[in-house]
Amino acid sequence: MRRGRPGLVGVAARTAVVAGTATAASGRVARRQQNKYAAEQAAAAAPAPAAAAEPEYMAELEQLAQLRDQGIVSPEEFEAKKKQILGL
């Protein structure tokens, strides 16, 4: 048996180990990037509920305007409530 240089089997085994390690590392990097991308997408989608709240106050303002137009609420009361709804 020779001890100086590894034989063909030793080189093949070492190559397989290096290739397997590289594959595992690249898979880990890919998963990490996918998780980061998914988190960014979730964060980008988060403001959508805030947009859904917009029609609620618009509907409330429309109802208030109808009450003003019907004479149930005075123009002063309408303006005061409108400022309260809009947070002014």
The CA distance from 33 to 24, in Å, is: 14
Going from the first residue of the chain to its last (88 residues), give the mean pLDDT of each consecutive group of 10, the final group possibly shorter. 69 75 74 84 67 71 90 90 86
pLDDT at 2: 57
Question: So what's the pLDDT on residue 70?
Answer: 92
Contact 9, 17 (CB under 8 A): no
What size, in residues, is the chain? Answer: 88
Residue ranges in the chain assigned as alpha helix (H): 8-45, 48-69, 75-86
Return d(Cα 14, Cα 2) in angstroms, integer.
17
Quote the pLDDT of residue 69: 93
Phi and psi dihedrals of 70, rounded to 5? Answer: -85, -10
State pTM to two decimals. Answer: 0.38
